[in-house]
Chains A and B, each alone.
Chain A
Amino acid sequence: DAGITQSPRHKVTETGTPVTLRCHQTENHRYMYWYRQDPGHGLRLIHYSYGVKDTDKGEVSDGYSVSRSKTEDFLLTLESATSSQTSVYFCAISESGFGGYTFGSGTRLTVV
């Protein structure tokens, strides 16, 4: 399996606090993506990256920011967590941008 890890695996945080989720890959893949998965909505793209310092918004980017200072790390920050951001967050990587993704194990985030 591709080397992709997400941290933390589980987190409970309070409304209004900033939260950063980390995605780390050892595959040297160019493309990285953050999705959230919610019942009834499926996987929705938050932000993606097509290279170091190259990022763009996805479908549900409001309230989220990302950074990619190294090929291997893609950080997702919730600037001020809200209960609507309670979700399971998946990171994914792709080598070429033209094939399937490999997903990380996910981070279950609860905002109370």
Chain B
Amino acid sequence: GQNIDQPTEMTATEGAIVQINCTYQTSGFNGLFWYQQHAGEAPTFLSYNVLDGLEEKGRFSSFLSRSKGYSYLLLKELQMKDSASYLCAVGNTGFQKLVFGTGTRLLVSP
């Protein structure tokens, strides 16, 4: 079976740093993805980890530990526009079918 867990909702203040965790149990692991989704819009790709370690991309970083089935997305210097849902997804081998968690809704306040 496959199971992906992430917190339902988080709040943070503009300018702060927030870490969104994701734990997973899945077979055929082929990468861990993070997507951002603003309300009423399509998900957009943020990051991809296939090996253990940290991937940094501007204000966003993503970490993966395959042995622990754990990933996190780190958002620095939060801005109001970062208020969105953040979706953790695991890629399965075979046509890269992505299995998504239910998403973490992040609310950034002034």
List chain A positions with a Cβ less than 8 A from chain B: 31, 33, 35, 40-45, 48, 50, 56, 58-59, 90, 94, 96-106
Contacts and interface: CB of A to CB of B under 8 A. Distances in A.
A103 B44 contact: yes
Contacts of B42: 90, 103-106
B100 A42 contact: yes
Contacts of B31: 98
A35 B100 CA distance: 10
B96 A99 contact: yes
Contacts of B102: 40-42
Q: What class of interface size applies to chain B in its complex with A?
A: 20 to 34
Nearest to B50: A98
Nearest to A99: B48
A97 B100 contact: no
Interface in B3-61: 30-31, 33, 35, 41-45, 48
Interface in B96-110: 96-103
Interface of B: 30-31, 33, 35, 41-45, 48, 87, 89, 91, 95-103
Contacts of B101: 42
Contacts of A48: 95, 97
Contact of A94 (B44, B96, B100): B96
A45 B98 contact: yes
A48 B35 CA distance: 19
A43 B97 contact: no
B95 A97 contact: yes
A100 B44 CA distance: 9
Contacts of A105: 41-42
A20 B54 CA distance: 42
A39 to B, nearest CB: 9
B96 A43 contact: no
B50 to A, nearest CB: 9
